[in-house]
């Protein structure tokens, strides 16, 4: 039960600036759930807003990787009760358009990502529709629960390219999504997983999570990866870098003829690629955004299952923990890889 009418929330006040404000606790609506936020991860996309690379209106409240506990349920909500530990799938959708009805809710024209369009979880409480609330398995605590969202992104990327048991995977990048893709690829049956990393602490993390080998991220990474695959290019390449990197071109050069490329990195501008190579290889290029509901199990449900089985592995990715009052310092750490950060989590509750 919530007894206060206001709560603490971190809002963007300008590039690389946050303010902790007292704002109203969200009102409970029919079909909705009020969640007390416990942990909220800082995502690479959050850093684009933080740096001013993406437009952010003053007062924007970030935070879409989060877990917490139910404090109140609205009229018509069943199966959820006060005190239940939960993870939140942070994309509100209409659930009635053709895309939603066919399991591609991530493409719903009315989608709203919590933490960008809708108020995010860098606050003590968040109101969400009940269909976005997932009870946490017993083995998953709040810290790991906040990691389910980026894990679901990686799972979605691999399901887009229909990764089959025994196939070989190359992952470009070892940030959070790249490392989550190592976990997901192994759990989904990849026979070998090679990745690139810019920093040693990222390479160490990839190996600890089950990567076969990690190659230094550089202009010669394609040649090094090709050699690591013994001259037999991988069936699947996953791009997780984004920004202004040339990693889509690298993925095209690297992938096997007839292979598939999943693009999960968020690019800050147009990039060039060798379209002729795509044609000659008959390579398939898939863009991936968030997660969906293909088949009988959603990407988020699969992520929860893997998180329960590998909770300790996922927790090892958390390198820094900060309270909500120090969220600015947390973002500065997340943006500075010399701090050897992988995942910074904000401890809200």
Catalogue the long-range contacts made by 56-61 (C-beta closer than 8 Å, 24 or more residues apart): 56/12, 57/12, 58/11, 58/12, 58/13, 58/14, 59/11, 59/12, 60/11, 60/12, 60/116, 61/9, 61/10, 61/11, 61/12, 61/115, 61/119, 61/120, 61/122, 61/123
Rounded to two decimals, the pTM is: 0.96
Cα–Cα distance for residue pair 42/21, rounded to 1 Å: 19
Closest by alpha carbon to 148, among 298, 294, 303, 299?
Answer: 303
* Reported confidence tier of residue 55, pLDDT bands at 50, 70, 90: confident
Does domain 6-147+317-347 fall under CATH 3.40.190.10? My reply is no
pLDDT in tens, 284-310: 999 999 999 988 899 999 999 999 999
Distances (CA, A) of 147 to 64, 93, 108, 153, 328: 10, 21, 24, 10, 20
Q: Tokens 């992952």 sit at which residue?
A: 171
Rg (CA), the chain: 20
Mean pLDDT of 27-44: 97
Backbone torsions φ then ψ of 130, nearest 5 degrees: -65, -25
Residue 183 above 90 pLDDT? Answer: yes
Asked if residue 28 has pLDDT above 90, the reply is: yes
Residues β-bridged to residue 123:
9
pLDDT in tens, 98-150: 999 999 999 999 999 999 989 999 999 999 999 999 999 999 999 999 999 99
Rounded to 5 degrees, what angle do the CA atoms 136, 334, 345 make?
Answer: 25
CA angle, 230 then 192 then 65, to 5°: 135
pLDDT in tens, 61-93: 999 999 999 999 999 999 999 999 999 999 999
CA-to-CA distance for 72 and 74, rounded, in angstroms? 7
The total of other beta-carbon atoms located within 10 Å of residue 324's CB is 21
Start-end of CATH 3.40.50.720 domains in the chain: 153-287
Which phi and psi angles does 48 have, rounded to 5°?
Answer: -60, -40
CA 319 – CA 189 distance, rounded (Å) = 27
Share of the chain above pLDDT 70, in %: 100
Domain(s) labelled CATH 3.90.180.10 in the chain stretch across 6-147+317-347
In this structure, which CATH number among 3.40.50.720, 3.40.50.10860, 3.20.20.105, 3.40.50.300 belongs to the domain 153-287? 3.40.50.720
Beta strands 125-129; 133-135: pairing state: unpaired
DSSP 3-state assignment of 192?
A: strand
> How many CA atoms, within 13 angstroms, populate the side-chain half-sphere of residue 281?
22
């Amino acid at each position: 039960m919530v007894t206060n009418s206001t709560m603490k929330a971190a809002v963007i006040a300008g590039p690389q600036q946050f303010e902790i404000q007292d704002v109203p606790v969200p009102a409970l609506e029919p079909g909705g759930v009020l969640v007390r936020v416990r942990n909220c991860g800082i995502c690479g996309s959050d850093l684009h807003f933080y740096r001013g690379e993406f437009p952010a209106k003053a007062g924007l409240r970030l935070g879409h990787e989060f877990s917490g506990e139910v404090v109140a349920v609205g009229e018509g909500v069943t199966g959820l009760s006060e005190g239940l530990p939960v993870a939140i799938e942070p994309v509100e959708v209409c659930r009635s358009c053709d895309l939603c009805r066919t399991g591609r809710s991530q493409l719903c024209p009315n989608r709203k990502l919590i933490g960008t369009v809708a108020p995010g979880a860098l606050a003590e409480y968040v109101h969400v529709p009940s269909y976005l609330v997932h009870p946490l398995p017993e083995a998953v605590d709040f810290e790991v629960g906040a990691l389910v969202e980026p894990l679901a992104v990686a799972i979605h990327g691999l399901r887009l390219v229909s990764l089959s048991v025994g196939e070989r995977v190359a992952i470009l990048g070892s940030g959070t999504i790249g490392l989550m893709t190592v976990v997901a690829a192994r759990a989904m049956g990849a026979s070998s997983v090679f990745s690139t990393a810019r920093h040693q602490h990222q390479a160490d993390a990839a190996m600890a999570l089950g990567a076969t080998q990690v190659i230094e991220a550089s202009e010669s990474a394609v040649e090094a990866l090709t050699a690591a695959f013994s001259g037999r290019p991988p069936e699947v390449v996953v791009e997780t870098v984004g920004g202004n990197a040339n990693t889509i071109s690298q993925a095209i050069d690297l992938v096997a003829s007839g292979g598939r490329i999943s693009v999960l990195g968020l690019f800050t501008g147009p990039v060039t690629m060798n379209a002729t190579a795509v044609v000659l290889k008959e390579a398939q290029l898939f863009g991936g955004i968030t997660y969906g509901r293909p088949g009988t199990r959603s990407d988020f449900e699969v992520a929860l299952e893997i998180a329960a089985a590998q909770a300790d592995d996922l927790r090892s990715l958390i390198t820094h923990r900060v309270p909500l009052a120090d969220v600015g310092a947390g973002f500065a750490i997340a943006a500075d890889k010399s701090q050897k950060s992988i995942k910074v989590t904000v401890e809200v509750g």
